[in-house]
Structure 1
Amino acid sequence: MAWLWWLGAALVLGVVEMLTVDLIFLMFAGGALAAVVATMLGAPFWAQVLVFAVVSVVLLFAVRPWAKDLLLRSTPDTLTNIAAHVGREATVLLDVTDRAGRVKLAGEVWTARAALPGAVLATGTTVRVVRIEGAIAVVESTADNTLYS
């Protein structure tokens, strides 16, 4: 009946791994599965714990670095939050100067500022986001229709 406890532990550790995706709990789940095998072979409890510990440590130090490297190489970098907006195009809603203005960026209205001092980007102009500073999108024109004051 002890094998059910080890199997339950392996399942719980597998679920925790799905939430963290760091491959640490997966290695402990592998150790718990090895303890299931030891239990099935009739090993005493201390031997089951020893098998769990040894297999977990071996998996952590031998398999995890290789598996994590493989995971990182096969997972594409996805920009999120502010980094996802840099380089996007936006439409000017209210004239944008180096002090103030409004743009529509990814369906949302943002406060904006021109990247170049003295530049005025007229309403309706398509602009590109150069950087985000707090809640302000710093933009530049995508064409040569920038006015300077």
Structure 2
Amino acid sequence: MIEWIQQNWWVAWLVLSGGLAVSEMLTLDMTLLMLAGGALAGAGAALIFPGLLWVQVLVAVVVAVALLGVLRPEILKRLHKGPGYRSTFDQLLGSTGRAAGEITASGGEANVNGETWSARSWDGEPIASGVEVEVIEVDGLTVVVQPRNKPLST
């Protein structure tokens, strides 16, 4: 068995590549996919240089680093600029939640989409604990909220 593996490293590289590609579905960060590409290049090197494991590893590492450094940033940039992409902060806009305590112009907390966020009142008026609020804007890591039943004033 060991002898067969030593003569057929390309199979191990393909299994590694497939495992990394499938694992990418859990992270969706494009990192494991780039490593899978490196492992696939290692499989190709194993077919060309079957007895030289160091060459296979070198090819796999060089290709993986190149993919991580060149291709991944470009893919992520295009993905994030694509139509319909909304970051987590953009998805908060218009969401509703409840004041976890009193929210004032200077601070407070609100539960929005099952998460507790630092919050402040949009118009500066205090919002009592338990009041249903709507996210008007996101300022850094703070949501700016308004009571849901209160019309916006300019």
Please indicate the TM-score interval, normalised by the length of the shorter structure: 0.5 to 0.7
* Percent of aligned pairs sharing the same letter: 34
| Paired position in structure 2 for 1:59 | 67
Q: Does 1:17 align with 2:27?
A: no
Q: Does 1:69 align with 2:82?
A: no
Of the three residues 24, 35, 46, the one matched with 1:39 is 46
| Greater Rg over alpha carbons, structure | 1
Partners of 1:6 and 1:19 in 2: CA distance:
21
Unaligned stretches of 5+ residues in structure 1: 89-114, 118-126, 132-136, 143-149
- The structure with the greater share of residues assigned to strand is 1
Q: What are the residue-to-residue correspondences of 1:87-98 with 2, within 5 Å?
A: none
How big is the shift at 1:138? 3.7
How big is the shift at 1:12? 1.2
Partners of 1:73 and 1:14 in 2: CA distance:
24
Contact 1:16 1:25 in 2 (8 A): yes
For 2:38, what is the secondary structure of its paired residue? helix
Partners of 1:20 and 1:85 in 2: CA distance:
27
| Alignment-mate amino acid for residue 70 of structure 2 | A
Distance 1:41-1:130 versus aligned 2 partners, 3 A rule: closer
Contact 2:14 2:39 in 1 (8 A): yes
Distance 1:79-1:38 versus aligned 2 partners, 3 A rule: closer
Unaligned stretches of 5+ residues in structure 2: 1-7, 97-122, 126-132, 138-144
How big is the shift at 1:31? 0.4
Q: TM-score, normalised by structure 2?
A: 0.55
Of the three residues 9, 12, 23, the one matched with 1:5 is 12
| Alignment-mate amino acid for residue 29 of structure 2 | D
How big is the shift at 1:56? 0.6
| Alignment-mate amino acid for residue 23 of structure 1 | M
How big is the shift at 1:40? 1.1
Contact 2:38 2:60 in 1 (8 A): yes
Runs of 4+ in 1 over 6 A off after TM superposition: none
Contact 1:128 1:141 in 2 (8 A): no
Of the three residues 122, 134, 141, the one matched with 2:151 is 141
How big is the shift at 1:15? 1.7
For 1:141, what is the secondary structure of its paired residue? coil
